[in-house]
Structure 1
Amino acid sequence: MIKDIRTYKLCYEGINDERDALAIKGLAEHPMEIVVTEIETSDGYVGYGESLAYGCSDAVQVTIEKILKPLLLKEDEELIEYLWDKMYKATLRFGRRGIAIAGISGVDTGLWDIMGKKAKKPIYKLLGGSKRKVRAYITGGYYSEKKDLEKLRDEEAYYVKMGFKGIKVKIGAKSMEEDIERLKAIREVVGEDVKIAVDANNVYTFEEALEMGRRLEKLGIWFFEEPIQTDYLDLSARLAEELEVPIAGYETAYTRWEFYEIMRKRAVDIVQTDVMWTGGISEMMKIGNMAKVMGYPLIPHYSAGGISLIGNLHVAAALNSPWIEMHLRKNDLRDKIFKESIEIDNGHLVVPDRPGLGYTIRDGVFEEYKCKS
């Protein structure tokens, strides 16, 4: 029985000045901020989940505490599917996307953490998976006033030296000519055996994305992520049809219903989603299995804390995903939230074989990284 649900707003102030195109264009800032949900059962089990909180942590926390928590107290924590439906239907009038689904995401992941701990099995095994390692690509190449072309080359060379065979570079904030030069410089230093993807963070118009996509084709780019606004599915489908470079996305979509439309319209070639905002582990598994039925690869997105990274990793292992996204930017909410270190082996993330998520929250971390406002 669910005894209590507690939430924590965590912020990391030490993130550097690196930005993507959305931030540079003044359309969105991405503070390193998460909401952690802690679920306690009457028989002493505790599970943890993470919710999207890009500047909206107050709203996410209130949604969990005031709307979702009263629905869940005294319920059987093992009835995960039933509880997901209960939360979703209770928030239909104002949810279905955004903050409500972000709240559900954290709760759902926490419930799976508890289920694994009770069963004494890692989540990926409960989901039927067997894969112990998932190949990771590193997202870097952010824009920064302190990062000239030489430092960009050094950064990407470092990732390859660590054993990663895939990298992703931010584009869209500079002119197309400047971004192409950045990509050419990176190719020179990483060689032909490393896959290079790009991420425009939704900033291009259709015409701009089409032009940039044709330039990217000539460079042999691995995939072109979120070229345009997520809502323009028909235009994204036109891009996917007209361009040889694969279109990837859209992590900014929510739940199986939105992803069904993305896939039905053939708006992408590669499906990307994230447990912290698509509805948690339960919903990501549904999206992943639907992608299998419709013939799409699923590569999990990642951008925030350690809990969502590990949640994504369990789902990737269960779905046999070919890749998973990883960042190596300085981020204590990823690297210092657990007692254990996140294990990387020659460019792969190692799936923990310990019960639940497989990681232990470090003592005092909620107080240490508590948001100041």
Structure 2
Amino acid sequence: MRKRHWAMKIVAVETCVVALPFDMGGPKPAFAGRPWDNLEILVVKVETEDGLVGWGEAFGHAAIPATKAAIDTIIAPLMLGRDAGDIQGLSRTILHSLHLLGRNGSFVYGYSGIEIALWDLLGKRAGLPLYRLLGGRDRGPIDGYASLLAYNDNPLVAKNTAAACAAGYRFIKLHELTRAAVLAAQQAPGAADAAIMLDVNCAWSPVVAREMAASLADDGLMWLEEPVWPPEDVHGLASVRAYGIPISAGENVAGLFGFKSLIEAEAIDIAQPSVTKIGGVQEMIRVFDLCEAHGVEVAPHSPYFGPGFVATLHIIAARMEKPMIEVLWLDMEANPFDPWVRGQNGRFPVPQGPGLGCDPDLEVLERYRTGDWARNVWQANR
């Protein structure tokens, strides 16, 4: 028994960034003030003393330099030498150690990536896919919803909506700010049978959000996502529900208690936790439990193309009543986590191998890697 415990000790935590060329069907926008030239994935690799490796992904996008630095300089050294199987204990200990550095941001994002890798390791040791560890069953391929990027051009909205429908998607999310864009999507070829959602990324004050919700009330939106700035204005968000459109939010809140605040304010119909931001798999499950107890739907936020996306597939398979996963509408040149991050006819199979069930193609990872692997290795007692 002692030997098994020793074999679970973490001896290395590594990070690297994979930058993938992509086409989004229109001009690429800036992201947080930076050009978005490539789709970047912050990959996290955790190794135990017996050589077993788990893979994770930490948020993300323009925040990658900060999240990577948080892992490499502070979080990874805290992980080394600890028992990789004690995920609950590690989450309590590590996140408490970091809490003065912020309860929502790069340090929690960084731990989220490591925590996903720990679940990958746990599943590999148990010989079970993650969804089975979480008490789920094989439910077959999961419907994807095409999450279109921001075009700010109604003909491009219509063109990409039509293309997504032709690719088999029957759920389309827009990142636009006008009713005209919604109508352009709904009138696109093939969209008559598609459900349309609108995500405005916290664009409006509560007053404007209510005005926009009133104008959209009869358009049959599946949901209106994050209509209010700032996102922590739970009462302002709650006021938008009066117009009858289901309201979704949650990718920007801090952990379980952030969702508790949204639910207690009666601000949301649909909760959207994000596994690479919230603290990992275990915190996602806690949010599912909370929402189930209060009759709130959960539709995870997952605009990722690495272990974060795959972990979300497993969580959805285990816990979501009506399974559906968000996938950014873009065409990647290559991806080290193919084929699991690309749908067929708008659907995504859940890997059946142990853990996440899909280690990266190391040749592809190396080809698109930017910079050097940052590596922290435990040296004590070796």
TM-score of the superposed pair, with normalisation by structure 2: 0.87
2:79 paired with 1:72: yes
The answer to whether the Cα contact below 8 Å between 2:310 and 2:340 also exists between their aligned partners in 1 is: no
Paired residues, what number?
A: 358
**Residues 361 and 231 (structure 1), Cα distance of their counterparts in 2 relative to 1, 3 Å cut:** same
Bigger mean CA offset, 317-326 vs 287-296:
317-326
The answer to whether the Cα contact below 8 Å between 2:162 and 2:191 also exists between their aligned partners in 1 is: no
Residue 172 of structure 2: aligned partner:
167
* d(CA) in 1 for partners of 2:27, 2:217: 26
Paired residue for 2:151, among 143, 152, 160?
143
CA displacement at 1:368 relative to structure 2: 2.5
* d(CA) in 2 for partners of 1:76, 1:166: 42
Residue 304 of structure 1: aligned partner:
304
The answer to whether the Cα contact below 8 Å between 1:152 and 1:186 also exists between their aligned partners in 2 is: yes
CA displacement at 1:345 relative to structure 2: 4.7
Residue 318 of structure 1: aligned partner:
318
2:48 paired with 1:41: yes
2:111 paired with 1:92: no
Q: Secondary structure at the match of 2:12?
A: strand
**Residues 215 and 49 (structure 1), Cα distance of their counterparts in 2 relative to 1, 3 Å cut:** same
Query: Percent identity at matched positions?
Result: 27
Q: Deviations over 1:183-229 (max 9, x none)?
A: 22221233443111101011111111111111111211111001112
Q: Secondary structure at the match of 1:103?
A: helix
* d(CA) in 1 for partners of 2:254, 2:364: 29
Residue 130 of structure 2: aligned partner:
123
CA displacement at 1:321 relative to structure 2: 4.1
Q: Secondary structure at the match of 1:202?
A: coil
**Residues 18 and 128 (structure 1), Cα distance of their counterparts in 2 relative to 1, 3 Å cut:** farther
* d(CA) in 1 for partners of 2:338, 2:213: 43
TM-score of the superposed pair, with normalisation by structure 1: 0.89
* d(CA) in 2 for partners of 1:29, 1:99: 20
Aligned runs of 1:155-194 on 2, under 5 Å? Answer: 155-172=160-177, 179-188=178-187, 189-194=189-194
Q: Secondary structure at the match of 1:158?
A: helix
Residue 142 of structure 2: aligned partner:
134
Q: Secondary structure at the match of 2:327?
A: strand
**Residues 39 and 220 (structure 1), Cα distance of their counterparts in 2 relative to 1, 3 Å cut:** same
The answer to whether the Cα contact below 8 Å between 2:173 and 2:199 also exists between their aligned partners in 1 is: yes
Residue 357 of structure 2: aligned partner:
358
Q: Deviations over 1:260-298 (max 9, x none)?
A: 111121111111111111111111111111111111111
2:19 paired with 1:11: yes
Residue 261 of structure 1: aligned partner:
261
* d(CA) in 1 for partners of 2:268, 2:34: 23
2:355 paired with 1:348: no
The answer to whether the Cα contact below 8 Å between 1:299 and 1:321 also exists between their aligned partners in 2 is: no
**Residues 11 and 231 (structure 1), Cα distance of their counterparts in 2 relative to 1, 3 Å cut:** same
* d(CA) in 1 for partners of 2:200, 2:167: 25
The answer to whether the Cα contact below 8 Å between 2:16 and 2:371 also exists between their aligned partners in 1 is: no
* d(CA) in 1 for partners of 2:44, 2:346: 30
* d(CA) in 1 for partners of 2:34, 2:319: 32
Q: Deviations over 1:2-59 (max 9, x none)?
A: 1111111233354556467xx58x7787663332110001112100111112323222
The answer to whether the Cα contact below 8 Å between 2:154 and 2:184 also exists between their aligned partners in 1 is: no
Q: Deviations over 1:131-181 (max 9, x none)?
A: 33322211116216xx661x4323212222232221111122xxxxxx322
Structure 1 residue identity aligned to 2:337: F
Residue 245 of structure 1: aligned partner:
245
**Residues 34 and 345 (structure 1), Cα distance of their counterparts in 2 relative to 1, 3 Å cut:** closer
What 5-or-longer segments of structure 2 have no aligned partner? Answer: 1-8, 373-382
CA displacement at 1:337 relative to structure 2: 1.6
**Residues 372 and 148 (structure 1), Cα distance of their counterparts in 2 relative to 1, 3 Å cut:** farther
Q: CA RMSD in A?
A: 2.3
CA displacement at 1:90 relative to structure 2: 0.4
Q: Secondary structure at the match of 2:89?
A: helix
What 5-or-longer segments of structure 1 have no aligned partner? Answer: 173-178
**Residues 208 and 339 (structure 1), Cα distance of their counterparts in 2 relative to 1, 3 Å cut:** closer
Q: Deviations over 1:59-106 (max 9, x none)?
A: 212221222222221211111111111111100111211111101100
Q: Secondary structure at the match of 1:121?
A: coil
Structure 2 residue identity aligned to 1:256: L
Residue 380 of structure 2: aligned partner:
none
The answer to whether the Cα contact below 8 Å between 2:10 and 2:83 also exists between their aligned partners in 1 is: yes
**Residues 4 and 54 (structure 1), Cα distance of their counterparts in 2 relative to 1, 3 Å cut:** same
Paired residue for 1:59, among 61, 66, 82?
66
Residue 105 of structure 1: aligned partner:
112
Q: Secondary structure at the match of 2:90?
A: helix
Residue 211 of structure 1: aligned partner:
211
Residue 50 of structure 1: aligned partner:
57
More strand by share: 2
* d(CA) in 2 for partners of 1:339, 1:304: 13
Residue 235 of structure 1: aligned partner:
236
